[in-house]
């Protein structure tokens, strides 16, 4: 009886080993999960369509701007979490403002070649007559994809100014996660 069980167990191991070895390498690679997107894999820019432009001329409420990432590589990759966004101001008193993150949860976004995903930036515009020390005039945005250290430099195309709250605990200007 013992020899019969041993023979059955050995046969199962041999069959399992044969089955695993019979999977083509291409099929095994196709099943591998895509890895994260790197800065070099992406293009970035502001969404500038009429429905995507922030309402910088009004000062009654917050408005949204959107930044997109497009996978320009030949591989599928993923993005998840928050981009790093530093706004560089046009006024000498502005300096650089690292935007706070919203409390929204992030999801993993899978980008095949040519796919695009965006994230929103909530802005709190103020009137041009607001004292210089209380307003921030955006000029450039330094945008770093999640888990990367190299950034894109995007020129702010929308004009206007926002309430300067770079030291606030809960500022009216902040960013959402990728795809959020």
Instruction: Report pLDDT digits (tens) over 80-99.
Output: 999 999 999 999 889 999 99
pLDDT surpassing 90 at residue 19: no
- Reported confidence tier of residue 30, pLDDT bands at 50, 70, 90: low
C-alpha 124/C-alpha 174 separation (Å) is: 9
| pLDDT in the model for residue 31 | 62
pLDDT of residue 3: 43
What confidence score (pLDDT) does residue 55 get?
Answer: 96
Mean pLDDT, to the nearest integer, of 62-90?
Answer: 97
**pLDDT tens per residue across span 166-180:** 888 899 999 999 998
Distance CA 160, CA 158 (A): 7
**Which residues is 42 bridged to in the sheet?**
71
pLDDT confidence band for 32 (50 / 70 / 90): confident
For residues 85 and 48, give the distance between their C-alpha atoms in angstroms, rounded to a whole number: 18
pTM of the model: 0.81
Reading the block at residue 153, the tokens are 């430099």
The H or E element containing residue 20 is helix 2-21
Q: Is 4 helix (H, G, I), strand (E, B) or coil?
A: helix
């Amino acid at each position: 009886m013992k020899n019969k069980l041993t023979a059955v167990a050995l046969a199962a191991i041999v069959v399992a080993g044969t089955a695993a070895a019979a999977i083509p390498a291409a099929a095994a690679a196709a099943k591998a999960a895509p890895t994260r997107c790197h800065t070099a894999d992406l293009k970035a820019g502001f969404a500038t369509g009429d429905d995507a432009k922030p309402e910088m001329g009004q000062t009654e409420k917050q408005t949204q701007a959107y930044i997109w990432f497009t996978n320009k590589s030949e591989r599928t990759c993923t993005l998840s979490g928050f981009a790093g966004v530093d706004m560089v101001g046009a006024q000498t008193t502005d300096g650089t403002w690292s935007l706070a993150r919203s409390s929204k949860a992030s999801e993993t976004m899978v980008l095949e070649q040519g796919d695009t995903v965006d994230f929103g930036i909530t802005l709190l515009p103020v009137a041009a007559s607001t004292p210089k020390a209380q307003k921030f005039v955006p000029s450039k945005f330094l945008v770093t994809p999640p888990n990367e250290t190299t950034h894109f430099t995007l020129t702010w195309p929308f004009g206007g100014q926002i309430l300067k709250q770079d030291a606030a605990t809960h500022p009216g200007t902040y960013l959402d996660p990728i795809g959020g």
